[in-house]
Amino acid sequence: MDNFIVSARKYRPATFDMVVGQDSITNTLKTAIKRGHLTQAYLFCGPRGVGKTTCARIFAKTINCSKLKENGEACDECESCLSFNTLRSFNIHELDAASNNKVDDIRSLTDQVRIPPQVGKYSIYIIDEVHMLSSSAFNAFLKTLEEPPSHAIFILATTEKHKIIPTILSRCQIFDFNRIRIEDIVGRLKYVARNEGITAEEEALHVISQKADGALRDALSIFDQIVSLSGKKITYKDVIENLNVLDYEYYFKTVESALKGDFSSVLMTFNEILEKGFDGHNFVSGLCSHMRDLLVCKDEITLKILEATPVIKQRYIQQTKECPEEFIFKALELGSNCDISYKTSKNQRLHVELFLIRLCRLTTIAEEESEKKKSALKPAGKISEELPLPSKSEIIRESSDYSVSRNKPQEIQTDRHAPVIEKHAKSFSIKKIISEEKNVIKENPEPLMEEITKNEVRQSEELNNLSFEKAWNEFTDSLRGEGTRIISMFKSVRTEVENDQSIRIHLSNAAQKDLFVQNYKQKLISFLSNRFNPKEFDIEAVVDLSEKNEMLYSDEQKYNYLVAKYPGLKDFKKAFNLDIT
């Protein structure tokens, strides 16, 4: 029985062209080799399983190739390439920094760097998981990395670039590897299945690619796992059962029932999911992703970012036509809230069920709001339709009545809403009605006085000591929210009105003056301008030095006073390590 080799090793790329999903990086490296623009250090960083170490090995092999192809690939025929393929090359050295992360390991590496290569031009040192080096090891490696021998090239690989010190990063050319797209992973899995003589459904390979989360190595490992279970034929059903993945059908079924408002069917679907051993949180997050995909399918521009097989994509397009945009927006909002608060909920099943019930109510609520809008517009239309047109005799009679009473302003005022205007009496003159109403207003000016505001009355007040004292008290009352300290300060100050535009405020100390001038002087001016007749006031804030009892003491002066009066306070402060604040 032959030894089994996992697909991740068996189908590991041997050339740049075989690397999946990293075209920009491989093209840059090939161009640098062809032009001879090689630097002393490279840093390959990115998620797991995207080809960092693989590209480092291919790069190291291609650098020393003596018969480089026109496309920048290694020839696989020269002595350097053959020794690399048979794992006997002495020019390429790999170091696992996860297990060799001490200073002594780096020192032995720096000693080895001095030895020139026996075959080829360069000695390449690949350091994997370089972020695992200790800080002292990084410092020991720093000088060698900055000024290595001309024959030495370092290739550092890591999944956590942020853990590498900046002095190392500044000495490297950095290449960021991306997560591999689902379409690229599916294509690679098809290639492996075809070479292995395995029949696989495209939907099954798509689920494997989604489960891998952008890592081709993980996808190949899952592929081997499914092959061990299913043999030479891989079906969609086998994949979702083996990987414990929820079927697409549940999401389509849930949305279809929610659009109908059938919460009973939705709750039974959720119960079936739980009975199969799936977690409710996974269902909620999966349903949110499903709603996102429906929203993406609403526009042809965003349709291309939908990652699904052609068959599933057609189902999304079909269902999104039945979903109003408002329904999708509300569903995403409800699902996001449920997802966030799921772990903190004590009854998690009920939490998800309430989310599903609200989801079913979205269509009903939208219909109710639509009916309310229609009913709000209906009465106005009915009134206009049901109003009978006046007959010719009614128009003549109403116009004659109006001509008799047109010289009576009081009667016009009370009968202004008579059916004459509503019945479209064409004999009326709008100019006459407006002029008669103006006469009524001139004869009865009293109601207009009620519309004068209190501020307009107050503006006629004159400024004197008595009126200012009243205004000052009202201004103080308006500052209740500022705190008792401010209220006490305003009540303790003395005010003096010198003339109708000059006011003097007597304050106790300089601190009160600064506080008043910076925060309250302009407020007081605005308050007085709205109350008194002159619009400009000259408010002078002065410090009354004659009032010695209102001095401000510092915290230290207060403390010394209390210690002199109560000596035990000093020991109390020292025992509890208190501050003077």
* Residues 309, 238 share a domain: no
pTM: 0.58
* Residues 163, 200 share a domain: no
* Residues 409, 326 share a domain: no
* Residues 47, 163 share a domain: yes
* Residues 208, 144 share a domain: no
What pLDDT, on a 0 to 100 scale, did the predictor assign at position 287? 92
Surface-to-core class of residue 458, CB atoms within 10 Å of its CB (0-12 exposed, 13-18 middle, 19+ buried): middle
Q: Is residue 220 part of a domain?
A: yes
Q: Is residue 380 part of a domain?
A: no
* Residues 168, 60 share a domain: yes
Q: Is residue 131 part of a domain?
A: yes
Q: Let me know how many helices (H) and strands (E) the chain has, helices first.
A: 29, 10
Q: Is residue 44 part of a domain?
A: yes
Would you say 106 and 145 are in contact if contact means Cβ atoms under 8 Å apart? no
* Residues 117, 59 share a domain: yes
* Residues 170, 23 share a domain: yes
CATH number at residue 498: 3.30.300.180
What pLDDT, on a 0 to 100 scale, did the predictor assign at position 210? 87
Residue at a domain's end among 203, 222, 243: 243
What pLDDT, on a 0 to 100 scale, did the predictor assign at position 402? 45
- CA pair distance 156, 23, nearest whole angstrom: 20
Tally the domains of the chain: 6
* Residues 408, 501 share a domain: no
What pLDDT, on a 0 to 100 scale, did the predictor assign at position 545? 60
What pLDDT, on a 0 to 100 scale, did the predictor assign at position 409? 45
CB atoms within 10 A of CB 288: 19
What pLDDT, on a 0 to 100 scale, did the predictor assign at position 241? 83
| Domain membership of residue 474 as a residue range | 456-550
- CA pair distance 56, 99, nearest whole angstrom: 19
What pLDDT, on a 0 to 100 scale, did the predictor assign at position 454? 45
Surface-to-core class of residue 490, CB atoms within 10 Å of its CB (0-12 exposed, 13-18 middle, 19+ buried): buried
* Residues 14, 155 share a domain: yes
Surface-to-core class of residue 494, CB atoms within 10 Å of its CB (0-12 exposed, 13-18 middle, 19+ buried): exposed
- CA pair distance 179, 417, nearest whole angstrom: 76
Residue at a domain's end among 148, 176, 204: 176
Residue at a domain's end among 176, 203, 231: 176
Q: What angle do CA 476, 477, 478 make, to 5 degrees?
A: 90
Q: Is residue 203 part of a domain?
A: yes
* Residues 151, 28 share a domain: yes
Would you say 240 and 273 are in contact if contact means Cβ atoms under 8 Å apart? no
What pLDDT, on a 0 to 100 scale, did the predictor assign at position 354? 93
What pLDDT, on a 0 to 100 scale, did the predictor assign at position 496? 81
Q: Is residue 130 part of a domain?
A: yes
Q: Is residue 65 part of a domain?
A: yes
Angle between helices 202-212 and 216-230 (to 10 degrees): 130
Burial 132-161 (b: 16+ CB within 10 A, else e): bbeeebbebbeebbeebeebbbbbbbbbeb
* Residues 131, 45 share a domain: yes
Series of mean pLDDT values for 10-residue runs along the chain (581 residues): 77 89 90 88 91 91 86 85 84 86 86 82 89 87 85 91 89 91 90 90 89 88 88 87 85 91 90 89 91 90 84 88 90 92 91 92 76 65 47 49 45 43 46 53 46 44 76 82 78 79 80 81 80 71 61 70 80 80 64
Q: Is residue 370 part of a domain?
A: no
CATH number at residue 105: 3.40.50.300
